[in-house]
Chains A and B, each alone.
Chain A
Amino acid sequence: MLNVALDHLVPSYINNFDAYIPSKPDPELKKMFGCDTLYRLNNNENPLGTPPAAQELFQKFNPARAAIYPSGDSYYLREKLADKFSLHPDQILVGNGANEVIAFVINAFCESGDNIITADKTFATYEWIATFSGYEARLVPLKEYAFDDQAMLEQVDARSKIIFICNPNNPTGTYWNQEKLVRFLDQVDGQQIVVVDEAYCEFVEKEDFPDTLSLLEKYPNLIIFRTFSKMYGLAGLRIGYLIGNLEVVNIIRKTCVVYSVNTIAQEAALLALDDQEHVIRTRKLVAEEKAYLRQEFDRLGLSYVINEGNYVMLKLPISDTLAYRKLMREGVMVRTMTGFRFPNYIRVTIAQHEAMEAFIRGLEKIL
């Protein structure tokens, strides 16, 4: 018998929380499913990988530097981002992936009895971190695959501290335009922190996509999340950041874990930011392959949700988790959407044409 008084030690909100189990490494999965190759179309990584300059950095990195602590607050990266966006460096906090900065914000503003508000069918980490930190996550149903601004406002009460908007939304790819976001911020009227998670903003080319940086001065309760994991191809290094009003960010800084971002991640991010060609190449590939998938889905008579971002959602005539297992045998790994509360949908990351063709071949075989 375990000689630890877990009943007494563990808070109820932890007992009631279900741990997330990530997928096994590729070699294990290939062995288990009996496939020789595996196209990873499940995590929305950039199919073109890391920008060339960052790749060169990895090859030249002096191993002796691994013994030295990194900059504790990503000093040079914040300077570079501040310069790029015409901000003060202290308006930026860098974290070990955007997931870490979500925790910074929740810890900074929530206390027992508080709640956060987000959508039911969106990136799950806002809900998870709030819940396992002991705060209520109020989940508002999407409306036509998009965040429902009015329904979210209706959920606000005196204990609502943060509203999380994923823009564009993962997994539906829908987005609020500048006008809608501004109207929403006006209605919130500074009473809550409004987080706009722009993890996929670099994939959006629509002119009415919000210029959130320009709104910071007028709306000091606005916080913007960005990441280097998607467009910049640094998912394996875990680096993301938030931007906000100086006074607000100074509050969040109190909950920030310093030294959590490693040296290579900071330096690779610095180099990646300069590579606009990488962004253009990636956007071109995503646009072309989305068009290919749209045509193939139409041919197969399948309904789909294709909007912004480097991913698409597809509705299947069978269970998405069964489709996952069948597709794995064909060497294609997709993301099931039952866990996103979209039963029978899969989300597919846009990748090179060879991978997309393999996916379509697999799909035709299993359906």
Chain B
Amino acid sequence: MPFPKNEIVMELSLHPENLPVVMNMAEQAALVFGMQSKDTMALRLAAEEVFSYLCTHTDMQDTIRLECKKGIYYIQMDFIFQHSNLDLRAFNISTDINLEDDSQLEEMGLLIAARSIDRLFLNDEQNRMVLSLYKEKSYPPAEISTPMSRNTTEFFIKPAGIEDLKSFCQLAASFDKDTQELPVFLRYPGKFADMIYSGEYQAALAFDQQQAILGGIVWKSQAQRTIEFYGPYLFTRFDGMAEALIESCLEQIGRSDAVGLVNRCGTVDLSEKYFEKLGTIQYLHNDDKVLDITAYYRQLCEDPGQRIWTHPDLLPYLQSQYQRLFLPREIRPVSNMGEYKHAHSVFSSEIGHDQVILRPLLGGEDTAANLKGHLQLFAREKIPNIFFEIDLGLAWHAELVPALLCQGFKPGLILPYAGKADLLLMQYRAGDVTC
């Protein structure tokens, strides 16, 4: 049964004297939604920084709308405003910063906000902008125990109760203690149970006749066209169990409007019987450990084909990838032929703990310089993984490619149907800068 929707909404002028109202809204909403004091204060700080930043860096005359949404295991606070007369450059996270001057870094409200919460991201939704703060509740970690394989002659898959889900997490964390390859959310049983309860995630677990958990698979159920999944995790080797878990997941989402199923954990040996390899990216941990992450994909419906746009520099790569993946695409090369470009580019930055994903909001003459500014900032912040998402369904994104290539970005993965069309995930490699 879906949990009841709970939202707190407020509209106010973007004026510095309203700052205490915003801070109190963040704090009180977090308390009402069940966050602990530490998390509440983190959200309050982030809201303070964002509101102050918007007051200082924009000339918005309109009211701003604030929405706090309870997500069971997280709170999301959205700052929503019309951008018709707004200079979007303010949303380049590196805007107006002299990277040589440490004191200026302290003025970077958006970055401070991002540091205090789990995720900060900006969406351009037609003629409005939504800047979202995302703060998760704190949960106790799984208790690691010595895992024991069970001898069993039979398994079956059934819907799991809350305690089953928590036990699954404990087992997954225990089996994973050496490899450390489990997604972070599976290390917190209470959080995982809340994620399932929220309806955002689903799971199928395998049991033996004594109701002991033998394995499981998890997927995000509320994604739009591409569903991310995790697993299958097997706590005992049993012929056919991995396949049965995968099929259970597929049967449950087979009639949804999702187009594809993707696994970017890359840690599970996913059978070619069910999946296709999209490609591999290198993921750097803060301890300098490098993981090769292979992304697996499976389409859920018959591919109708689509048109995509590319810069000629990427044409050979895309042609070879689409040929390899048997994905029917009409590839249209585009290049600037002297037409008008905005003076300034704008990128949104989705900042997590050890990665940042850049997405273009606006192309401009200064794309290369703007990228460089972002990269310098992320280097200072010691963010090890930097990605740039190109939506191959948007022709103007293709024009960003030369700047991306010369700043050290390389094509990494094509994620079919993950954007307006396919998304090309480009990964920054510091040694590959050519300009």
- Taking CB as reference atom, which chain A residue is nearest B329? A32
Inter-chain contacts of B128 with A (CB < 8 A): 1
B16 at the interface (CB under 8 A from A): no
Flag if B274 contacts A319 (CB, 8 Å): yes
Min C-beta distance of B157 to chain A, whole Å: 12
Give the distance in Å from the alpha carbon of A21 to the alpha carbon of B417 in the complex. 14
Is residue B126 contacting chain A, with contact meaning CB distance below 8 A? yes
Contact B254 A325 (CB under 8 A): no
B255 interface neighbour in A18, A32, A321, Cβ under 8 Å: A18
Q: How far is the CA of A324 from the CA of B276 in the complex (A)?
A: 13
Q: Which of B96-104, B108-116, B227-235, B300-308 contacts A (4 or more CB under 8 A)?
A: B300-308
Q: Answer whether residue B327 sits at the interface, using C-beta atoms and an 8 A cutoff.
A: yes
**Nearest Cβ in chain A — how far from B54, in angstroms?**
20
**B326 touches which of A2, A29, A325 (Cβ 8 Å):** A325
- Interface membership of A180, Cβ < 8 A: no
User: Which residues does chain B contribute within 8 Å of A317, judged by CB atoms?
Assistant: 273
Judged by a CB distance under 8 angstroms, whether A58 is at the interface is no
Instruction: Name the segment of B68-76, B133-141, B245-253, B363-371 touching the other chain.
Output: B245-253
Would you call B299 an interface residue if the criterion is a C-beta within 8 Å of the partner chain's C-beta atoms?
A: yes
Contact A343 B251 (CB under 8 A): yes
Q: Which residues of A contact B300 (CB under 8 A)?
A: 321, 338-339
A32-B305 contact, Cβ under 8 Å, with A18-B256, A317-B273, A319-B276: yes
How many residues of chain B are within 8 Å of chain A by beta carbon? 29
When the two chains form their complex, are residues A336 and B301 in contact, meaning their CB atoms are under 8 A apart?
A: yes
- Given contacts A19-B257, A343-B246, whether A322 and B326 have CB atoms under 8 Å apart is yes
B255 touches A339 (CB 8 A): yes
Is A328 a contact of B328 with CB atoms below 8 Å?
A: yes
Q: Tell me the smallest distance from the CB of A176 to a CB of chain B, in Å.
A: 23
Return the chain A residue nearest B82 by Cβ: A1
Q: Is A178 an interface residue (CB 8 A)?
A: no
Query: Per-residue CB proximity of B283-309 to A under 8 Å, as 1/0?
Result: 000000000000000111111110000
Chain B minimum-CB-distance residue to A328: B328
Partner of A339, one of B247, B254, B275: B254
A34 to B298, CA, bound (A): 22
Q: Looking at the assembled complex, report how far the CB atom of A56 sits from the nearest CB atom of chain B, in whole angstroms.
A: 35
Residue numbers in A under 8 Å from B298 (CB-CB): 319, 321-322
Name the residue on A nearest B272 (C-beta): A318
Residue in contact with B305 in the complex, picked from A19, A24, A339, CB distance below 8 Å: A24
Q: Cβ of A340 < 8 Å from any Cβ of B?
A: yes
CB-based nearest B residue for A17: B257
Task: Tell me whether B328 and A33 are in contact (CB under 8 A).
Answer: yes
Query: Contact between A24 and B304 (Cβ–Cβ < 8 Å)?
Result: yes
Chain A, residues 318-345, CB within 8 Å of chain B (1/0): the string is: 1101101110110000011011110110
Residues of B within 8 A of A339 (CB): 254-255, 300-301
Q: How far is B246's CA from A32's CA once the two chains are assembled, in angstroms?
A: 30
**Cα distance A321–B247 in the bound complex, in angstroms:** 14
Residue of B nearest to A316 (CB): B273
Cβ contact within 8 Å between A344 and B328: no
Q: Does A124 contact B (CB under 8 A)?
A: yes
Distance, CA A124 to CA B257, complexed state (A): 14
Q: B299's contact among A18, A28, A321, by CB below 8 Å, is which?
A: A321
A328 to B305, alpha carbons, bound, how many Å? 11
Q: Which residue of chain A lies nearest to B307 when distances are taken between CB atoms in the complex?
A: A32
Interface residue count on the A side (C-beta < 8 Å): 34
Question: Does B274 lie within 8 Å of A343, measured CB to CB?
Answer: yes
Main secondary structure on B side of the interface with A = loop
Docked pose: A339 CA to B125 CA in angstroms: 31
Which residue among A19, A317, A344 has the maximum number of chain B CB atoms within 10 Å of its CB? A344
A316–B94 CA distance with the chains assembled, in angstroms: 51
B87 at the interface (CB under 8 A from A): no
A32 touches B328 (CB 8 A): yes
A214 close to B (CB within 8 Å): no
B330 at the interface (CB under 8 A from A): yes
In the complex, what residues of B have CB within 8 A of residue A21's CB?
301, 304
Q: Quick one: closest A residue to B246, CB to CB? A: A343
CB–CB A340/B273 < 8 A? no
Does A23 sit within 8 A of B, measured CB to CB? yes
CA distance A24 to B301 in the complex (A): 13
B328 — which chain A residues lie within 8 A by C-beta? 32-34, 325, 328
Are B301 and A321 in contact, with the CB atoms below 8 A? yes
Binary interface encoding of chain B residues 247-285 relative to chain A, with 1 for a CB under 8 A from any of its CBs, else 0: 100110011110000000000000011111000000000
A325 touching B257 in the complex, CB below 8 Å, given contacts A318-B273, A343-B251, A344-B274: no
Given the known interface contacts A1-B127, A328-B328, A338-B300, the answer about A322 and B250 at a Cβ–Cβ threshold of 8 Å is no
Considering the chains assembled together, what is the distance between the CA atoms of A62 and B327 in angstroms? 45
A329 vs B324: C-alpha distance when bound (angstroms): 13
Given contacts A1-B127, A338-B250, A338-B300, contact A326 B326 (CB under 8 A): yes
In the complex, A231→B128 CA distance in Å? 54
Chain A 128-165 near chain B by CB (<8 Å), digits 1 or 0 = 00000000000000000000000000000000000000
| Cα–Cα, bound, A178→B330 (Å) | 52
CA distance A340 to B302 in the complex (A): 12
Distance between Cα atoms of A155 and B126 in the complex (Å): 45
Q: Is the CB of A33 within 8 A of B305?
A: yes
- 125-160 of chain B: CB within 8 A of chain A: 125-128
| Complex Cα gap A2–B125 (Å) | 11
Given contact pairs A21-B304, A29-B305, A32-B305, A344 touches B273 in the complex (Cβ within 8 A): yes
- Judging by beta carbons under 8 Å apart, are A322 and B276 in contact? yes
Partner of B302, one of A19, A31, A324: A324
Is there an interface contact between A32 and B330, defined as CB atoms closer than 8 Å?
A: yes
Cβ A341 vs Cβ B330 within 8 A: no
Q: Which of B128, B255, B273 has the most CB of A within 10 A?
A: B255
Closest to A33 in B: B328
Which residues of chain B come closer than 8 Å to A2, judged between CB atoms?
126
Contact A343 B247 (CB under 8 A): yes
Least CB distance, B159 to chain A, in whole angstroms: 13
Query: What is the chain B residue whose CB lies nearest that of A127?
Result: B255
* Closest residue of A by beta carbon distance from B301: A339
Please, how many angstroms separate the alpha-carbon atoms of A79 and B328 in the complex?
Answer: 49
Q: Are A341 and B305 interface neighbours, CB within 8 A?
A: no
Known: A29-B304, A319-B275, A344-B273. 6 other contacts (CB 8 A): A18-B255, A18-B256, A21-B301, A322-B298, A325-B328, A341-B251
Please, could you name 27 A-B residue pairs with CB atoms under 8 Å apart, sorted by A? A1-B125, A1-B126, A1-B128, A23-B302, A32-B330, A33-B305, A33-B328, A34-B328, A120-B251, A318-B272, A318-B273, A319-B273, A319-B299, A321-B298, A321-B301, A325-B328, A326-B326, A328-B328, A335-B302, A336-B302, A338-B254, A341-B250, A343-B246, A343-B250, A343-B274, A344-B247, A344-B273
Q: Which 9 A-B pairs have the closest CB atoms?
A: A18-B257, A32-B305, A321-B299, A343-B250, A32-B328, A325-B326, A341-B251, A338-B254, A1-B126
